[in-house]
Amino acid sequence: DAGITQSPRHKVTETGTPVTLRCHQTENHRYMYWYRQDPGHGLRLIHYSYGVKDTDKGEVSDGYSVSRSKTEDFLLTLESATSSQTSVYFCAIRSSGSEETQYFGPGTRLLVL
């Protein structure tokens, strides 16, 4: 998994509660991404980061926020979880100057009841 870990790996929460997912990398990559994966939709970009404190929105950013205070950590927060946010969340990294490729973490399975 290219030195990427995600925590927690599984989480069950209730509607309306805040949830934070963590992505940690050990290889000092500049670019980090959060995706969600749902049946029939493939992977969709939520937010991405191109450096410490530099983040931007992706295709499906509503209801999500991110923070990156250190190179190695990229946090995804669901401010008030909804059932539509039940999904599998993947973090990915991309090295500066590399080809257009991304390397993915193992994923976090989130169930919002």
**Contacting positions for other proteins (CB under 8 A):** 1, 4, 31, 33, 39-45, 48, 50, 56, 58, 90, 92, 94, 99-107
Those residues with Cβ within 8 angstroms of residue 71's Cβ, 6 or more apart along the chain or in another chain: 25, 28, 29, 30, 51, 52
Cβ proximity to other proteins: between 21 and 105 the closer is: 105
CB of 15 to other proteins, least distance (A): 25
CB of 65 to other proteins, least distance (A): 17
Cβ proximity to other proteins: between 20 and 103 the closer is: 103
Alpha-carbon dihedral sign for residues 98, 33, 109, 27: positive
Alpha-carbon dihedral sign for residues 6, 22, 19, 8: positive
